[in-house]
Amino acid sequence: MSSQSTTIPTVASYGTARRRTTMGIVFLALAGVIWYFFSRTTQAGMITTFTLNPGGSQANFPDLVFGTLPILNVLASVCALIGAFQLVRGFGKRTNAVLGLVAALFIFAFLSWVASGASLNLAGLLRATLIRAIPITLGALSGILCERAGVVNIAIEGMMLTSAMLAAIFGSLYGLWVGLFSGVIAGGLLALVHAILSIKYKTDQIVSGTVINIFSIGITSFISAKYLASSRHLNNPGIFSDIQIPGLVDIPFIGPIAFSHNIFFFGMVILLALLHFGLFFTRWGLRLRSVGEHPKAADTLGINVFRTRYMAVILGGMMAGFGGAYFTLGSVGRFDEVMTAGRGFIGLAAMIFGNWNPFGAFGAGLLFGFADMLAARLAILGVRVPSEFLLMAPYVATMIILAGVVGRGQMPAADGQPYEKEGH
Amino acid sequence: MPPVLELRNITKRFPGVLANDRIDLTLNRGEIHALLGENGAGKSTLMNILYGLYQPDEGEIFINGEQARINSPTDAIHAGVGMVHQHFMLIPVFTVTENVMLGSESIKVGGVLDRKTAAERIREISSAYGLAVNPDDYVRDLPVGGQQRVEIIKLLYREADILILDEPTAVLTPQEADELFKIMHSLTERGKSIIFITHKLREVLDIADRITVIRRGQVVGSTTPKQADQNKLASMMVGREVDLKLEKKAAKPGAVVLEVENLKIADDRNQIAVDGISFQVHAGEVLGVAGVQGNGQTELVEAVTGLRNALEGHIHLLGEDTTQASPRHITELGTAHIPEDRQRDGLVLNFPVADNLVLNTYYKQPYSQGLIMQHELIAETAKTRVENFDIRTPSVETSAGSLSGGNQQKVIVARELSRPLKLVVASQPTRGLDVGSIEYIHGRLVASRDEGAAVLLVSSELDEIMQLSDRIAVMYRGKIVDVLPAKGASKEQIGLLMAGLSGQKTLKNPAKRGKSRKDA
């Protein structure tokens, strides 16, 4: 047999070649944008100032000050060089990492241009990005749990919304921790409904998810208008206060950005690491993924497909519930109608963007969170780009990714397919 | 000593079908016991019962003399029964180690996977039984033979003593099959017992110690290779005398009908599936395309019939460039297409037989007058064709989906071959059919050839290729490795080519090879 494998000719990959060219063109285009839209419109001698201390922090770290035009030109040249190298030789397996680098350079160029002749609080921006990424990432982790086990869950939005309301009510009545707990349970219960519909009764999973979303919007809006509006004491839970991680919070620049948050941020980081480790390094994860890839194979090896899927969907729902509680107990301090505003769906986009990997989804969550936050800030700064365009950018990127231009993701093979046992 | 396994009186009913009817079977230690029968005879049902996937309605299972309750695969694994399914139960994105350990993982504290220990055990099993695999490879990167070895290792990892191999050679080249037979012997030498399910007569005679033949859910007889021959086994399988030899006259090749030049095609995943191939098919000859499935044959057929766009190269049909032509135009030039997947591409399963019989001509006179379809005429035509092509159907209004596989295929053949034809493209035309239907379809294809059509036959059944073809092109990894005349070609030679080894033997006939390749 080994003699045969030596004679196997390699099959040329048509897709890889096309992708290399596409990515090269994308890099060059970004370089072009930096030069055409940013460099050309910047006068020589303009100065960009980035403040590196988030507001409210005691730390005193010097500002970053540089000439706008030289930096923009350098960034444009670097992107162009990378693009040229990509076209001629290609980065091979590192292409995605290089894409991330170019995107980061582009964003830096954009911020430098925006802040030319003014001062921008970079540290504040980054801290806000992390915070905005919390619900998106939790939504994505919830989606990963479900879909890695083969169940599509588009009801994350609805689970978050219901959880947010219950967390607010129970939080107001019995305290924050009870509120958080009831939010998590609410997510789990809605997930149980989704699981029964889609695993036991093999309903179309999109239909089941849509039903839960519509139900959630209806019930929360009704309760909010009917009871919460009139009874203020039911909708005033307060929020979890920030925890400073001793030692780490004193690191200049990074400390105030990453180590002074409330429990939702740290909870997300822990869940992220746990899920990654659980999925790829434990028996639990191996079995969960096997059920999402090839349920019949798992079944023939004695793995209970149905139980595994129930477990994954319910845990995913609880994850979404935790993310939902963030809105009321971690951010706003009260429930407003439809306050999740599509974050659950954006979480699903982050899941796809992140290729069904927890850390990939977190990266995508940061990107979406960044755009979300920037759109809000830029309106204040009075920038010439309509903030709606910025809001759109990550989703345009998601569509491009879904179209397979940047390389098709590895969706679990049995995602969305109900499992039917034979012969019973 | 009691037999390792004894099945007594196993009966299994599905709605409307008696899949297993009081089947008895014994398996002795260290024995290879072949279970022979046509598709749908009930072999797989019986084995799924033994493996706990189905529950029998009646009957008992004894393992090592003790009655066993097998309600699930877990029970079967505990009882020492393991099964290699016809469609591999492997997860492509997992490594060999992950696939093998799944369900009986080695773990450290807290459920953390211990891949190292598992990989070590796989290496031990691999060297003990001569099953070459690398535990760290991803299964998606392995050739089919390698995937099958992983499946066997899965069983040995669980310390199975009774191994069920369900049609294990269906996806292998003849050489890979020989390799598998060696492995099977090394397993039985070490005390394992094997049930070998197949419908290939030659293999049974080569490897089995005992043979049990099943027909329509019943055991029709047991024998040994010494007492049986292919004809005897075939008639036991089918229930009547079968002539395995196809009579055909010498071919009278005429003008070139189909010419493929330097064709490059990508598959659904955008990988090059057909990598610059050229060949011609002449009127009045059968060009057989041999090769293990998945070496570009599917894409080639789709390109020729207009269902897939080529990246590069040209296809000429009767001198016209049809590389970009629509399937309908290609059909109207006189092309018949018997597709690989008859249920997906060959029929509209919910439509009645009559409508399925005119899918390629319904829009034309006389079946349509303007916008109106002529149902009476279509039904009349259907009745004649059902008779001529021996299609067993309750009526022409029966939906095609409710017919048996063989009769579905006959509907397609009747539709495609009942027109004046220049080119017949037949892809796996007899896959999964009973011997009777195979005989019939082979006869029809040869008849088309004798009427002057060019026939492009794609099949992964080497026997079929050898019997029908006048010339044989062997495909491997998207390239035509060689084209050789069927007369004088040996199975071993073609088998080697199918595995990508262009043996020196094939250089014997340079003159004829040159002819078929001169325009490459």
Query: Given A8, A11, A300, which is nearest B89 (Cβ)?
Result: A300
pLDDT in tens, B291-339: 887 889 999 999 999 999 999 999 999 999 999 999 999 999 999 999 9
Q: Among the CATH numbers 3.30.420.10, 3.40.50.300, 3.90.1570.10, 1.10.10.10, which is that of B5-238?
A: 3.40.50.300
Interface check for B72 against chain A (CB to CB < 8 A): the answer is yes
Contacts of A298 in chain B (CB under 8 A): 102-103
Whether the pLDDT of residue B7 is over 90: the answer is yes
| CA–CA distance, B152 with A356 (Å, rounded to integer) | 31
| CA–CA distance, A38 with A48 (Å, rounded to integer) | 13
| Chain B: closest CA distance from residue A107 (Å) | 32
Contacts of B109 in chain A (CB under 8 A): none
Instruction: Inspect the interface and report whether the beta carbons of B91 and A14 lie closer than 8 Å.
Output: no
pLDDT score at B505: 43
pLDDT score at A117: 82
Interface check for B272 against chain A (CB to CB < 8 A): the answer is yes
Residue predicted with more confidence, B389 or B514: B389
| CA–CA distance, A363 with B265 (Å, rounded to integer) | 37
Contacts of A7 in chain B (CB under 8 A): 500-501
Q: Which two tokens stand for residue A144?
A: 């990963």
State the number of CA atoms in the 13 A half-sphere of B172 facing the CB: 23
| Chain A: closest CA distance from residue B271 (Å) | 5
Smallest Cα–Cα separation from B424: which of B306, B272, B262, B258? B258
Contacts of B143 in chain A (CB under 8 A): 4-5, 8
Instruction: Inspect the interface and report whether the beta carbons of A422 and B272 lie closer than 8 Å.
Output: no
- Angle of helix A358-381 versus helix A387-402 axis, rounded to 10: 160
pLDDT in tens, B358-409: 999 998 888 998 889 899 999 999 999 999 888 888 889 989 988 877 789 9
Contacts of A303 in chain B (CB under 8 A): 102-103
| Chain A: closest CA distance from residue B355 (Å) | 31
Q: Which two tokens stand for residue B390?
A: 């021996």
pLDDT in tens, B418-476: 989 999 999 999 877 777 788 888 999 999 999 999 999 999 888 889 999 999 999 99
List alpha helices for B316-404, DSSP H: 327-332, 353-356, 375-388
Instruction: Inspect the interface and report whether the beta carbons of B110 and A413 lie closer than 8 Å.
Output: no
- Calculate the average pLDDT of chain B: 88
Q: Where are the domains of chain B?
A: 5-238, 254-334+421-520, 343-419
Interface of A with B (CB under 8 A): 1-2, 4-5, 7-9, 11-15, 18, 281-284, 286-287, 289-290, 293-294, 296-303, 410, 413, 422-424
DSSP, res B509: -
| Chain A: closest CA distance from residue B113 (Å) | 5
Domain B5-238 shares a fold with domain B254-334+421-520: yes
| CA–CA distance, B163 with B81 (Å, rounded to integer) | 6
Contacts of A293 in chain B (CB under 8 A): 91-94
Best to test chain B binding among A300, A406, A421 (most B CBs inside 10 Å): A300
Number of A:B CB contacts under 8 A? 114
Is residue B427 within 8 A of residue B340, CB to CB? The reply is yes
| CA–CA distance, B233 with B205 (Å, rounded to integer) | 9
pLDDT in tens, B245-273: 777 888 889 999 999 999 999 987 778 89
Is residue B308 within 8 A of residue B299, CB to CB? The reply is yes
Query: Given B55, B271, B478, which is nearest A423 (Cβ)?
Result: B55
Phi and psi at residue A175, in whole multiples of 5°? 105, 160
Interface check for B168 against chain A (CB to CB < 8 A): the answer is no
Whether the pLDDT of residue B1 is over 80: the answer is no
Best to test chain A binding among B20, B86, B91, B172 (most A CBs inside 10 Å): B91
Phi and psi at residue B91, in whole multiples of 5°? -105, 110
pLDDT score at A267: 97
Interface check for B276 against chain A (CB to CB < 8 A): the answer is no
Whether the pLDDT of residue B89 is over 80: the answer is yes
B192 in helix, strand or coil? coil
Cα nearest neighbour of A423 on chain B: B54
Contacts of B111 in chain A (CB under 8 A): 282-284
pLDDT score at B506: 41
Exposed/middle/buried for residue A13 (C-beta within 10 Å: 0-12, 13-18, 19+):
middle
pLDDT in tens, B183-241: 999 999 999 999 999 877 888 898 999 999 998 889 999 999 999 888 888 888 888 77
pLDDT score at B520: 32
pLDDT score at B272: 87
Query: Given B113, B176, B477, which is nearest A283 (Cβ)?
Result: B113
| Chain B: closest CA distance from residue A361 (Å) | 19
Whether the pLDDT of residue B503 is over 60: the answer is no
Q: Assign domain B254-334+421-520 to its CATH superfamily.
A: P-loop containing nucleotide triphosphate hydrolases (3.40.50.300)
Query: Given B51, B102, B272, which is nearest A298 (Cβ)?
Result: B102
| CA–CA distance, B336 with B457 (Å, rounded to integer) | 12
pLDDT score at A423: 52
Interface check for B166 against chain A (CB to CB < 8 A): the answer is no
Instruction: Inspect the interface and report whether the beta carbons of A302 and B73 lie closer than 8 Å.
Output: yes
Q: Indicate the Cα dihedral angle A97, A99, A104, A110, nearest 10°.
A: 180
| CA–CA distance, B22 with A47 (Å, rounded to integer) | 91
- Residue found under tokens 């994105």: B93
pLDDT score at B403: 82
For chain A, 424 residues long, the average pLDDT of each consecutive 10-residue run is 34 60 89 90 86 73 87 94 90 79 88 84 90 96 97 96 97 96 97 96 94 96 93 91 89 86 96 97 96 94 95 97 96 93 90 90 90 76 72 72 61 88 60
Query: Given A7, A15, A302, which is nearest B271 (Cβ)?
Result: A15
